[in-house]
């Protein structure tokens, strides 16, 4: 008998819910480049309100949202301060260099959090030899730090350090709602310490595509121009915004279930000869060194039994829980991992 696949590679594998499919079919649409798609307009105003910002923009992906933000905040030759393992630095194909023409200054974070003192020291003063520091980027939750949550108080420290020097702050909040749910706080409590914020609708929230970029009215007006320039001006995009509305209204609170299952998976894995990193949200990072297998070898063995995860480094594996992973999948995964390394 064919085993069902337990796909823990990413929360991006989530498919739209029944409610989303229904909303798509029934969506009222228009040409969004003319600003005439009522469903896109509704999603953008709803997202702006949730994030406590004046305006928002529906973009095709998290990467596009981050890149439009960097393009809007910076000029060519500017410097951007980033956490050394951040998505914008690590996983966006070098786009900030290629598109915005900025140079990056990376600082090592502590579980993904930048140190305000280090940020302060890294911001350039006035000197004919220096680039202009235009932007500080944070990431919350922090993916490569294992879904680590940065508290609003930690964010405030970095925000104040930047603001003292007139530097803008962007948040890559691809999984911001995971942080909010984990702490029982509102998304706007985090977004308050930013000038712009990007959130993904298509990860744990299950929408088929799309992200939101939010900020001031003037910022979003310019961001809309950059999105068009990048080929992100979409027409009857309401069909894709409609599931985004469902994502924001129905799919946020249930992230707590993904967090609970990630903790259960971590607790089970930590009884085996694996080093399991602290779990705060829906990501479980596991070091495979003690098994003698590299991450890729370990993943090949799991795949033979239908369990899929992602390699994050030579001996580092990421498991990600999401909407389609139930309690029995966690139990089954633990059985299979035990069999594979036992
Ligand atoms: C997934 C992700 C993105 C980019 O999202 P895409 O929609 O895949 O382009 C950005 N930042 C973080 C932290 C992510 O995890």
Residues 279, 293 within the same domain = yes
Residues 260, 330 within the same domain = yes
Please state, in angstroms and rounded to a whole number, the distance separating the CA atoms of residues 335 and 162: 48
pTM, to two decimals = 0.97
Is residue 87 lining ligand 1, measured as CB closer than 6 Å?
Answer: yes
- pLDDT value of residue 137: 98
Q: DSSP secondary-structure letter at 100?
A: I
Residues 169, 39 within the same domain = yes
| Nearest residue by C-alpha to atom 10 in ligand 1 | 62
Torsion sign (Cα): 88, 187, 176, 140: positive
Residues 91, 212 within the same domain = yes
- pLDDT value of residue 226: 98
CATH code, 61: 3.40.640.10
Please state, in angstroms and rounded to a whole number, the distance separating the CA atoms of residues 19 and 273: 42
> 10 Å Cβ neighbour count for 152?
19
| Nearest residue by C-alpha to atom 6 in ligand 1 | 62
| Nearest residue by C-alpha to atom 14 in ligand 1 | 174
Digits of tens for pLDDT over the chain (342 positions)?
556 799 999 999 999 999 999 999 999 999 999 999 999 999 999 999 999 999 999 999 999 999 999 999 999 999 999 999 999 999 999 999 999 999 999 999 999 999 999 999 999 999 999 999 999 999 999 999 999 999 999 999 999 999 999 999 999 999 999 999 999 999 999 999 999 999 999 999 999 999 999 999 999 999 999 999 999 999 999 999 999 999 999 999 999 999 999 999 999 999 999 999 999 999 999 999 999 999 999 999 999 999 999 999 999 999 999 999 999 999 999 999 999 997
Beta pairing class for 6-7 and 307-308: parallel
- pLDDT value of residue 342: 76
Q: DSSP secondary-structure letter at 246?
A: H
Say if CB 233 and CB 225 are below 8 A apart.
Answer: no
Length of the chain equals: 342
Largest CA distance in the chain: 70
How many structural domains are present in the chain? 2
Tell me the three state secondary structure of residue 250: helix
Is residue 63 lining ligand 1, measured as CB closer than 6 Å?
Answer: yes
Beta pairing class for 307-308 and 283-287: unpaired
Supply the DSSP string of 155-176, one letter for each residue: HHHHHHHHHHTT-EEEEEETTH
Is residue 61 lining ligand 1, measured as CB closer than 6 Å?
Answer: yes
Establish if 289 belongs to a structural domain. Answer: yes
Please state, in angstroms and rounded to a whole number, the distance separating the CA atoms of residues 200 and 244: 9
Instruction: Identify the domain containing residue 275 by its residue range.
Output: 6-13+254-341
Tell me the three state secondary structure of residue 106: strand
Listed residues 188, 219, 250: the one ending a domain: 250
| Nearest residue by C-alpha to atom 4 in ligand 1 | 62
């Amino acid at each position: 008998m064919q085993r069902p696949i337990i796909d823990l590679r990413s929360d991006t594998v989530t498919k739209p819910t029944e409610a989303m499919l229904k909303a798509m079919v029934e969506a009222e649409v228009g040409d969004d480049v003319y600003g005439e798609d009522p469903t896109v307009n509704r999603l953008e105003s709803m997202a702006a309100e949730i994030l406590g910002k004046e305006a928002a923009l529906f973009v095709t992906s998290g990467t596009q949202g981050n890149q439009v933000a960097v393009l809007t905040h910076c000029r060519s030759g500017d410097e951007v301060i980033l956490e050394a393992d951040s998505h914008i630095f690590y996983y966006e194909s070098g786009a900030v260099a290629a598109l915005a023409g900025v140079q990056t200054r990376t600082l090592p974070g502590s579980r993904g959090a930048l140190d305000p003192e280090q940020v302060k020291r890294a911001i350039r003063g006035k000197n004919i030899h220096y680039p202009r520091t235009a932007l500080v980027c944070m990431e919350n939750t922090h993916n490569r730090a294992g879904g680590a949550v940065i508290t609003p108080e930690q964010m405030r420290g970095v925000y104040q350090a930047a603001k003292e020097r007139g530097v803008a702050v962007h948040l890559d909040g691809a999984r911001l709602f995971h942080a909010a749910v984990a702490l029982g706080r509102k998304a706007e409590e985090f977004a308050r310490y930013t000038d712009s914020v990007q959130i993904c609708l298509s990860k744990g929230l299950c929408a088929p595509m799309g992200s939101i970029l939010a900020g001031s009215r003037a910022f979003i007006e310019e961001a809309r121009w950059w999105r068009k320039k990048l080929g992100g001006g979409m027409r009857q995009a309401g069909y894709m915004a409609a599931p985004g509305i469902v994502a924001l209204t129905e799919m946020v609170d249930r992230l707590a279930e993904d967090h609970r299952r990630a903790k259960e998976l971590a607790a089970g894995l930590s009884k085996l000869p694996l080093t399991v990193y602290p779990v705060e949200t829906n990501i479980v990072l596991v070091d495979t060194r003690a098994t003698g297998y590299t991450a890729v070898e370990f993943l090949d063995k799991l795949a033979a039994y239908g369990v899929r995860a992602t390699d994050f480094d030579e001996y580092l594996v990421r498991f990600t829980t999401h909407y389609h992973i139930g309690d029995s999948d966690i139990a089954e995964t633990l059985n299979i991992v035990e069999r594979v390394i036992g």
